[in-house]
Structure 1
Amino acid sequence: MSMTLMSLRAPCTGLCLALACLPVLAQAPEIRREPYPPQAVGSAHTIRIIPETCAYLRGMFTTDPAVPYRYGASKTAGRCQPRARLVDPAKAMPSAAKGWILNDEVRIPQAGCPSRTAVIRIWRKPIDTKAPLDGRGQARIYLQDAKQQAQSGAVAKLPEYAAVLEMVGQGCGGAAG
């Protein structure tokens, strides 16, 4: 009898775990967009500008089968004052369970290989702020105030963004595949 209960319990546990994860996996991004046009191997392209972090994400399909897509961040302008931080997704491990919100999902198919797509999920982690909001509903950070806070040692916490890459689909074979 206990053997029967154990054999029934194991599938139920797996099913229950899968159902518990379903809301996280089914979370719709705040920004909805169509997939990008197919991008050629070796062609650098802008993935997304994140104005709050004063950065933009750029990516490129490669011929390296171990790393088929590379991406990174660059500053938008030297004078831009970030209102949020772009953090390493490996350290932050963003998820809805940890208070992160799926902000955007960018799908970039590989030209010449429609079965391979780079999916970049951009997560944001808001903070509870007591700062007054401006007319656009944004909490603004002013340089003079930030300098005073830094000098007093009370640096304000900033919202965070993280970009997570996932490759979807199979390679098409050959050197680019």
Structure 2
Amino acid sequence: MRRLTLFSAAALALTAFAAIAADPTPEIQRAASAPPQAAGSVHTLRQIPEACARLEGMFTGEAAQPYKFAVVRSSPNCQPRARFVDAAKAQPSEAAGWKFNDLIRVPSAACPQQQAVVRVWRKPAAVAPPQLDAQGRARLYLQDEKARAEAAKLAQVPMFAAAMTVEGKPCGG
């Protein structure tokens, strides 16, 4: 039985190592991990101003779902210049034109061998400001934008996606 437990732990560690080794180098370089967070304490992982979004997380202390992760709108008045999409649907990868933007590791204060890992992806778009009119102003006219939308010729917007996993050995089981 002990060999089976050791084998399971080794397989889990190998899987976690393979996931880490498979990650490309992120665009944002940061410390190896964030400060340990207590269970029940909501904390901000990262802000993405261009998408008017904030990534929040919380260790729950529950074995079934040890970490909750959410994308929260940063302000009701914010006008996003980028979209935040579901990573499960978007399936971000470098082959699909996404850039590996950030890797955030958050250890649990109650269970030091367990950590939440958030991988943030960014899909750039060639966004140019509108041309200036005769008065030197960038203007968008509703009827022109409606016509572009109907013709499916709207400009691409940058996109962000984030995926969260919990790595490490669970505690108290």
Scaled by the length of structure 1, the TM-score of the pair is 0.72
Deviation string 1:144-170 (CA, Å, 9 cap, x unpaired) is: 528455422243221110011121111
Trace 1:1-177 onto structure 2 (pairs within 5 A). Answer: 25-34=22-31, 35-129=33-127, 131-132=128-129, 144-145=139-140, 147=142, 150-152=145-147, 153=149, 154-174=153-173
CA RMSD of aligned residues (A): 2.4
Gaps of 5+ in 2: 1-17, 131-137
Contact 2:126/2:156 (CA < 8 Å) preserved in 1? no
Q: For the structure 1 residues 97 and 148, does the alpha-carbon distance in structure 2 shift closer, same or farther, using more than 3 Å as the test?
A: same
Q: Percent identity over the alignment? A: 47
Q: Once the 2 structures are TM-superposed, how far is the Cα of residue 26 of structure 1 from its aligned partner?
A: 4.4
Scaled by the length of structure 2, the TM-score of the pair is 0.74
Q: In the aligned structure 1, how far is the partner of 2:144 from the partner of 2:49?
A: 23
Deviation string 1:84-142 (CA, Å, 9 cap, x unpaired) is: 1000011001111211111111110000211101010100011234x159xxxxxxxx7
Aligned residues: 143
Q: In the aligned structure 1, how far is the partner of 2:74 from the partner of 2:171?
A: 35
* Amino acid in the other structure paired with 1:44: V
Q: In the aligned structure 1, how far is the partner of 2:116 from the partner of 2:50?
A: 24
Deviation string 1:53-84 (CA, Å, 9 cap, x unpaired) is: 00101110113322211111111112211111
Structure 1 segments of 4+ aligned residues over 4 angstroms from their partners = 146-149
Q: In the aligned structure 1, how far is the partner of 2:124 from the partner of 2:85?
A: 13
Q: In the aligned structure 2, how far is the partner of 1:116 from the partner of 1:70?
A: 14
